[in-house]
Amino acid sequence: MKILITAGPTREYLDPVRFISNPATGITGYLIARIAKRKGHDVVLISGPSFLKPPKGVRVIYTESAIEMKDAVEKEFLACDVLIMSAAVSDWRPEKKFDNKLKIKRKWTLSLVPNPDILKAVSMLKRKNQMIVGFALESQELLKNAIKKMKDKNLDMIVANTVQNFGIPEKKSDIYVIYRDETIKDCSSFTKMELASFIVKEIERLAKKHNEK
């Protein structure tokens, strides 16, 4: 299959040296890319800023802002069978990016505007035989909110996890894989590698089921 994966955070600059971001490492997305490639899939990885080494044989497109990531995803989406959107996309960006480094010494207010929702945008373009997997990071009502997100964004599967330990690579958190029929698989005991492996296996299984229909 042609698998498109996004990973890492986005950066939303307010001047040439300062930005809004989050502590996402990109590890899960990079692992999914590595495992999918190893299993013989054709893999494209759209990565936000990350220090991780790109997996061998995977085409990597580097992006910074949510808007850059959206452009890249839209360009690659048509040709893919599966999109796995593991990137932690910033929900907002500064309304204005200043050309020069800000030297404001007094208290001031930064105005933020919402970023486009990449998943929502591409789910409108989704063909019958394409699959989309999303991620949901929640601080409350994890399963309820994740199921709502899966439906709103028209996803085939969603990986839900709690904000606890977000961005700390060696720590585990509560993590669940939720399917369209709302069945839930508890993956909390999985390492990141086991989770990535499970996600690839599940995509292969769902794709087979899709094709049999």
Comparing CB distances to ligand C5P, the nearer of 38 and 61 is 61
| Integer Cα distance of 134 and 147 in angstroms | 11
| Integer Cα distance of 66 and 78 in angstroms | 19
Between helices 27-38 and 192-212, what is the axis angle to 10°? 50
Closest approach, Cβ 22 to ligand C5P, in A, equals 10
Tokens of 83: 């999109």
Chain contacts with ligand C5P (rule: CB under 6 A): 66, 85, 87, 89, 91, 115, 117-119, 134-136, 149
Closest approach, Cβ 149 to ligand C5P, in A, equals 5
Nearest residue relative to ligand C5P (C-beta) = 118
What's the alpha-carbon Rg for the chain, to the nearest Å? Answer: 17
Name the residue with tokens 């960006």: 93
Comparing CB distances to ligand C5P, the nearer of 82 and 136 is 136
Comparing CB distances to ligand C5P, the nearer of 9 and 55 is 9
Closest approach, Cβ 60 to ligand C5P, in A, equals 17
Comparing CB distances to ligand C5P, the nearer of 118 and 207 is 118
| Other CB atoms within 10 A of residue 211 CB | 9
94 bridge partner residues: 112
Catalytic-role residue among 22, 115, 145, 211: 22
Is residue 183 a contact partner of residue 160, using CB atoms and an 8 Å limit?
A: no
| Integer Cα distance of 7 and 63 in angstroms | 10
CA geometry: angle 211, 117, 24, nearest 5 deg: 90
> Does 161 qualify as catalytic in the annotation?
no
Closest approach, Cβ 73 to ligand C5P, in A, equals 8
Cite the active site residues.
22
